[in-house]
Homo-oligomer: A and B are copies of this chain.
Amino acid sequence: MKIAYLGPQSSFTDLAVKKAFPEEETLPFTTIPDCIEAVMDGEVDYAVVPLENALEGSVHITVDYLFHEADLAIVAELTSAIQQHLMVHPDWKDQPGQPEKIMSHPHALAQCHKFLRGTYKGVPLEQSTSTSAGAKFVSEHPESFLGAIGNELAAEHYGLAILHDHIHDVTYNHTRFIVLHKKHREVSIPHETSLHKTTLMVTLPKDRSGALHQVLSAFAWRQLNLSKIESRPLKTGLGDYFFLIDVDHELDDVLLPGAINEMEALGCSVKLVGHYPSFMLS
């Protein structure tokens, strides 16, 4: 079984994949569309890509590509805490003073803003294209005292020593990743779960005032809880949207099919993107 993931190696997606599929062969791809296309072309069996981050919001390229370009099913959701560490080349581990500069992806630098300002005030920060690109650069320049911010996998992969662990400013930062396959199937993931979700993409009939309210009524009167609703442009004109809707309920024989049938009878088009278990990776 082969699994595509959003690379490079030691990215946060790689870390989530290693926890969920410890035994499988994995393959990094440069972009999210590349990961999705690899499943569609049959080059891999599954793809794992980020869908949403607690601070940044949805990853639009994932949502838009699944709506406009790809016909794949979400077969599992993986939620992972984003934990950042400051790492240096092992030769510099016991060096007093401050590194010449600290490198990482702009998001990671932003996530550690308070720590950096408190402990390393005045040390220049340099942006890298990914957290692991920063770690790679540090590993290749042992002659200089440099720091990189990234996850534990990057430290391990590039042989760096962690100088300060868990330096991210907020503890509630999580990312949701989705596992994609050509069609619905059960996947075996060695973690416990009791939560099942169903994801729909709904396009409303044009110019009908209150259509979104009608759609939400179909869920509300069945007490189907929505954990997310998000609008994205249809790319046909300003004010034309589709809605990504996550329902905290597994696809049953009565309630969800009833809601979907009603929405379609109201003139909506509904795409069932997946019904799947949700795993919190420790």
Contacts and interface: CB of A to CB of B under 8 A. Distances in A.
A119 interface: no
A230 B212 CA distance: 12
A232 B228 CA distance: 10
A236 interface: yes
A261 interface: no
Nearest to A208: B225
A115 interface: no
A233 B174 contact: no
A31 interface: no
Given A174-B238, A209-B223, A238-B79, A231 B229 contact: yes
B232 A57 contact: yes
Interface in A236-266: 236-241
A220 interface: yes
A227 interface: yes
Nearest to A248: B209
Interface in A197-223: 209-210, 212-213, 216-217, 219-220, 223
A174 B220 contact: no
What does DSSP make chain A's interface, helix, strand, loop or mixed?
mixed
A189 interface: no
A264 to B, nearest CB: 19
A52 interface: yes
Contact of A236 (B172, B225, B228, B231): B172
A229 B210 contact: no
B235 A223 contact: no
A55 interface: yes
Given A60-B57, A172-B236, A210 B225 contact: yes
Contacts of A213: 213, 216-217, 219-220
A54 interface: yes
The 10 closest A-B pairs by CB, nearest first: A213-B220, A213-B216, A209-B225, A54-B238, A172-B237, A210-B220, A174-B238, A57-B233, A230-B231, A55-B235
Given A53-B238, A54-B235, 15 more contacts: A52-B238, A54-B233, A54-B236, A54-B237, A55-B233, A176-B238, A209-B220, A209-B223, A210-B219, A212-B226, A213-B219, A213-B220, A227-B239, A228-B241, A230-B231
Interface of A: 52-57, 60, 79, 172, 174, 176, 209-210, 212-213, 216-217, 219-220, 223, 225-233, 235-241
15 contacts: A53-B238, A54-B237, A54-B238, A57-B60, A172-B237, A209-B220, A210-B216, A210-B219, A210-B225, A212-B216, A212-B226, A213-B216, A227-B239, A228-B241, A230-B230
